[in-house]
């Protein structure tokens, strides 16, 4: 087994784990937000006497459930208490390893492109990791500074910060790495919230209660602030993580701006759901999000490549073979030079393989302009026009 095959296996395994852990984390977090927003004050005097501030009834999986939330805490803590933390930690860990396997070990391909300011893999990796750390330090500083101020003010300032990070990263790295790192930065902040504030705060509350003291409400307040932030950050993060499968969204000169618009659309959509749990329907939020997305999609509609010069007439494979060899084989061949193995197993060494993949080549090179990846091999518009003519002439 060679190294490239092992990288493929590691990436599949880590991606699988990462998605499963993220479902567990986001799922439980969505559930609790929904629960919190849906609780109704109890009517039963016995519940009120126990200190219950809200309850609800639900039916699921063939059973009836009656969760109850205490105003501060029950008079006596049960011996066994379930903690939600590993969902978050395992999501971060698997995500970080996945990024290491894909992006940091292949930084020359994934983190750098023809237009990025940074052109050495080492510097690209350092920039990526620094983004995660700086992102947390700035967020945490803002939280402390604006603790008792309006959440909207905090949201506006933090959003401004994320937009600036996105613009700077799109300048320094490939658009693909920039989008992923903005997502990873926010996700790191979310996990750090759980690790540094939410869980320690809860531990202090439980310790105080076990010692027979009243827990200080500040811990609960802080945890709540961070947890509300996490809730709004989920949808933007998931968008960033998926974006690297769609070249049109992260390429182009305005990629940083695109990212800013989409993050806003995602947070607005989340706000709608949070209100809806409370029975308030504000359709203007998802509608605004949808309009923003439509603007992004229309603005990114690919234009057909225009030939600058008189391009030679290309009708047969022989005519475009040199283009494929020069622009694609660095990655798509038996022995690629730019990657450990041909991505998606797509190789253009033989004529048969080129012919068999003709529609995909046309789509990726001419219609979407997604290939060559980051245009690392410097394909020209003239060459795209040639491939387009060859395909329209029947790809023979």
- Binding-site member from 377, 380, 381, 382 for ligand HEC (CB under 6 A): 377
Task: For residues 149 and 110, give the distance between their C-alpha atoms in angstroms, rounded to a whole number.
Answer: 40
Tokens of 277: 């749990």
- Within residues 159-188, the interface with ligand HEC by CB under 6 A covers none
Q: Are strands 58-60 and 63-65 parallel, antiparallel or unpaired?
A: antiparallel
Q: CA 225, CA 218: separation in Å to the nearest integer?
A: 11
Nearest distance from C-beta of residue 117 to ligand HEC, angstroms: 18
Q: How far is the CB of 109 from ligand HEC (least distance, A)?
A: 5
- Which of these, 187, 12, 31, 32, lies nearest to 96 by C-alpha position? 187
Options 139-147, 191-199, 308-316, 373-381: segment touching ligand HEC (CB under 6 A): 373-381
Letters for 90-129 (x = contact with ligand HEC by CB under 6 A, - = none) are: -------------------x--------------------
Selected range binding ligand HEC among 84-92, 163-171, 297-305, 371-379, rule: CB under 6 A: 371-379
353 binds ligand HEC, rule: CB under 6 A: no
- The one among 150, 344, 345, 352 contacting ligand HEC by CB under 6 A: 344
Identity of the residue, 197 or 348, whose beta carbon is nearer to ligand HEC in the bound complex: 348
In the list 373, 385, 386, 389, the residue contacting ligand HEC (rule: CB under 6 A) is 373
Q: Would you state the structure tokens that stand for residue 332, as one six-digit string?
A: 């798509």
Q: Nearest approach, Cβ of 264 to ligand HEC (angstroms)?
A: 25
CB of 328 to ligand HEC, least distance (A): 3
x/- contact string, 304-333, with ligand HEC (CB under 6 A)? -----------------------xx-xxx-
**Closest distance to ligand HEC from the beta carbon of 15 (Å):** 12
217-243 and 175-192 are packed helices; what angle lies between their axes, rounded to 10 degrees? 160
For residue 52, the cross-strand partners are 70
Helices (H), the chain: 3-38, 45-50, 86-99, 107-110, 121-145, 151-172, 175-192, 199-210, 217-243, 247-250, 255-277, 284-299, 317-327, 351-356, 358-361, 381-392
Nearer Cβ to ligand HEC (140/381): 381
Q: Closest approach of Cβ 327 to ligand HEC, in Å?
A: 4
Residue 254's alpha-carbon distances to 90, 250, 274, 294, 376, in angstroms, are: 34, 9, 31, 16, 19
Distances (CA, A) of 264 to 160, 226, 375: 11, 19, 29
Task: Identify which of residues 87 and 383 has a Cβ nearer to ligand HEC in the complex.
Answer: 383
- Please say which residue, 15 or 277, places its beta carbon nearer to ligand HEC: 15
**Nearer to ligand HEC among residue 128 and residue 372 (C-beta):** 372
Nearest C-alpha neighbor of 289 from the set 277, 271, 276, 275: 271
Whose tokens are 């992006």? That residue is 103
CA distance 17 to 387: 39
Q: Is 376 a binder of ligand HEC (CB under 6 A)?
A: yes
- Does position 360 interact with ligand HEC (CB under 6 A)? The reply is yes
In the complex, least distance from residue 111 CB atom to ligand HEC, rounded to whole angstroms = 12
**Prior bond of 369 cis (ω within 30°):** no
Distance CA 44, CA 21 (A): 38
Query: What would the DSSP string read from start to end of 252-295?
Result: STTHHHHHHHHHHHHHHHHHHHHHHHTT---THHHHHHHHHHHH
In the complex with ligand HEC, the residue whose CB is nearer, 33 or 361, is 361
**Binding region for ligand HEC (CB under 6 A):** 109, 327-328, 330-332, 338-339, 343-344, 346, 357, 360-361, 364-365, 371-373, 376-377, 379
């Amino acid at each position: 087994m060679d190294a490239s095959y092992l990288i493929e296996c590691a990436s599949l395994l880590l991606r699988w784990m990462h998605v499963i852990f993220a479902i567990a984390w986001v799922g439980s977090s969505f559930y609790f937000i929904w629960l919190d927003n849906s609780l109704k004050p109890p009517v039963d005097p016995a519940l009120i006497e126990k200190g219950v501030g809200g309850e609800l009834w639900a039916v699921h999986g063939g059973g009836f459930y009656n969760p109850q939330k205490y105003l501060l805490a029950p008079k006596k803590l049960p011996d066994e208490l379930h903690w939600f933390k590993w969902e978050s930690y395992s999501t971060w860990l698997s995500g970080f390893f996945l990024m290491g396997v894909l992006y940091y070990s292949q930084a020359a391909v994934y983190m750098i492109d023809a237009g990025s300011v940074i052109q050495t893999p080492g510097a690209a990796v350092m920039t990526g990791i620094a983004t995660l750390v700086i992102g947390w330090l700035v967020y945490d500083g803002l939280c402390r500074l604006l603790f008792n101020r309006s959440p909207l003010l905090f949201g506006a300032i933090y959003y401004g910060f994320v937009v600036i990070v996105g613009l700077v990263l799109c300048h320094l790295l490939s658009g693909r790495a920039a989008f992923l790192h903005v997502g990873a930065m926010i996700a790191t902040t979310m996990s750090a919230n759980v690790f540094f504030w939410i869980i320690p705060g809860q531990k202090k509350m439980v310790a105080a209660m076990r010692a027979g003291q009243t827990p200080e409400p500040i811990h609960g307040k802080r945890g709540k602030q961070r947890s509300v932030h996490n809730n709004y950050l989920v949808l933007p993060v998931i968008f960033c993580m998926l974006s690297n499968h769609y070249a049109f969204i992260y390429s182009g000169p305005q990629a940083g701006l695109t990212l800013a618009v989409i993050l806003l659309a995602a947070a607005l959509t989340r706000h709608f759901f949070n209100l809806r749990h409370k029975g308030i329907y504000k359709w203007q939020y998802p509608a605004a999000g949808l309009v923003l997305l439509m603007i992004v999609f229309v603005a990114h509609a690919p234009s057909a490549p225009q030939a600058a010069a008189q391009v030679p007439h290309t009708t047969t494979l022989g005519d475009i073979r040199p283009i494929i060899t020069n622009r694609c084989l660095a990655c798509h061949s038996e022995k690629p030079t730019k990657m450990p193995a041909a991505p998606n197993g797509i190789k253009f060494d033989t004529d048969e393989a080129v012919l068999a993949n003709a529609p995909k080549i046309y789509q990726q090179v001419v219609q979407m302009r997604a290939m060559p990846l980051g245009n690392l091999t410097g394909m020209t518009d003239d060459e795209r026009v040639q491939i387009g003519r060859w395909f329209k002439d029947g790809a023979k």
